[in-house]
Amino acid sequence: MKKHLLFLILCLMGILTSCSQKHTRYYIGVSQCSDDEWRHKMNHEIVREALFYEGVEVEIRTAKDNNQNQIEDINYFIDRKVDLLIVAPNEAAAVTPVVEKAYGLGIPVVVIDRKILSDRYTAFVGADNCEIGKDVGQYIVNRLGGKGKILEITELEGSTPAMERHKGLADALKEEPGIEIAASVDGAWLQSVAGEKMDSMLQDNKDIKLVFAQNDRMAVGAYLSARQRQLEKEMLFVGIDALPGKGYGVEQVLEGVLDATFIYPTGGDKVMQVAMDILEKRPYERDTKLSTALVDKTNARVMQLQTDHIAEQDGKIEHLNNQVDEYWSRYSAQTMFLYVCLIILLLFAALLAIIVRAYWTKNRMNLELSRQKKQLEDQRDQLITLSKQLEEATHAKLVFFTNVSHDFRTPLTLVADPVEQLLEDKNLTSKQQSLLKVVHKNVNILLRLVNQILDFRKYENGKLELVRTNMDLRAQLQEWSHAFQTLALRKHIHFVLDVNDDRTDYLMALDAEKMERVYFNLLSNAFKFTPENGTITVTLSTLVKEENRRYARLVVADTGSGISAQHIRHIFDRFYQMDVNHAGSGIGLALAKAFVE
């Protein structure tokens, strides 16, 4: 029962834990090169898109424009055995080897936005920066009417968008001799760096008509720098990214800081879709090109309204998503609660079953016990009745024997006396004399038996008296033993009386008559059951039990058949008879014991 209960609990625990655990099917690592608003938007899109797939865990690490950081991030993902790696490489040359390493280890790699210097990757998602550069060139030509000096602020030199945007621009202006790139500097993607570089460029170059920065951040930096020299109205500022939101590209266009910007799509959702196609083995495009568009005064308002609308929709989706999450966790909690209740219920049921069973067993045992108790009580009552009956029978026997013995004793004494007188008569023939001796002997036996019964009765009634006189036990034993010497000779029995230890005296107060009868009883039994050529030994010795207290010990031993353990327990019981061969009155030994006690 206990085993079953344990098994049940374990099963339920298993169900519970499996219910409460979210199962991760795919672990995707994203290594971003930078940490700015454009990246934040992209990361947000990636994470949101991942919510549409079950069991997808996304971890994003940002290298903060540092190649070494990015190499470590990618190695971190390799060590954690990501199922797919998404990389926006900081500088192509530095990051290419570690990306190749991941790809070589069998990890699918999706390169995004910026490229590496190898084709050892699974897919690419991003805009065509050459084309953007060309579009920018085309815009400049149109805006300046094919004439004027421009400044270029490029991005991090080693990153592919920087190279490609510059190349696209250069290609577009190749056929335009009126447009001159007066200076081109590296702004490292940052507003502050671009601002400083702009300042020094303005020192060296006059009459600048347009400043093109490879992203909006740097374009704003250049604008602020020009404003410090109050030159901002004399030139146009063009950037790339066109991010919606406070202070970003689209708003800068609306506020007249930037003349134009080009959408450089983040496309996080698309990146995630391609990643899932790869993971779930669906067909996918190796090269996914995200499109660009010009944002200037003519469409910036619409663009902002649209992006605001989209942002609002996004917010709603997010809200819905949060609600779904909340419902889901509520559902999980309720499911958990249900299982817990179920467990408690089952445990309770099991407990109840145990209690009922225990109660039932206890009842059954109680019934059995009371049945046994009743049986024992019945047996005890039966025994009491039996022993009462036995006691009564014994009592009746004794009463009868006593009465009969009383009745026998007087006539027996009346027979014994004349016989003794007759035996003293010298005129009897020897034949008459021997016949009389037989009569005398048997009358004495009968008298002894009668006396034994009467004495035992006295003992039972507590009327047996101890009459002590001072005597020498050793001398007495020697005297009492005379009678048995003749018997021993006749029966060819070796009778040894070992009482000759002269150093000890056996002077003591004894009831001589009782002692004699005890001794006679023991010896008569010994002679009765010792065969011819056997030995009977009587030993008298001293026993010191306590300090200053000496005891005499009398042992009568024979080489007869002995008494079995079964009978020896009962030999002092009155009327006990071992078997027909050992029949007697059954009173002699009981009386001897009574005398000794």
Residues that bind ligand FRU (CB under 6 A): 34, 36, 38-39, 113-114, 161, 189, 215, 240-241, 264
Of 118 and 385, the one with the shorter C-beta distance to ligand FRU is 118
Query: How far from each other are the two terminal CA atoms of the chain, in whole angstroms?
Result: 63
Owner of token pair 């799509």 = 265
- Pairing state of beta strands 507-510 and 469-472? antiparallel
Single-letter amino acid code for the residue at 443: V
- The residue among 438, 396, 342, 398 whose CA lies nearest residue 16 is 342
Single-letter amino acid code for the residue at 521: N
Distances, alpha carbon 460 to alpha carbons 299, 392, 518, in Å:
140, 14, 17
Helix (H, G, I), strand (E, B) or coil at 557: strand
Q: Which position's Cβ is nearest ligand FRU?
A: 215
Cβ 107 to ligand FRU, closest distance in Å? 23
Cβ 189 to ligand FRU, closest distance in Å? 4
Of 33 and 443, the one with the shorter C-beta distance to ligand FRU is 33
- Give φ, ψ of 85 to 5 degrees: -120, 130
Cβ 239 to ligand FRU, closest distance in Å? 9
Owner of token pair 């069973």 = 357
Cβ 132 to ligand FRU, closest distance in Å? 9
Instruction: Find all residues with CB under 8 Å of 257, minimum gap 6, and list them.
Output: 220, 223, 237
| 3-state SS record for 491-526 | HCCEEEEECCCCCCCCEEEECHHHHHHHHHHHHHHH
Of 290 and 508, the one with the shorter C-beta distance to ligand FRU is 290
Distance CA 36, CA 191 (A): 11
Helix (H, G, I), strand (E, B) or coil at 425: coil
Please give the full DSSP string across 200-217, using - where no structure is assigned.
Answer: HHHHH--SEEEEEESSHH
Of 153 and 510, the one with the shorter C-beta distance to ligand FRU is 153
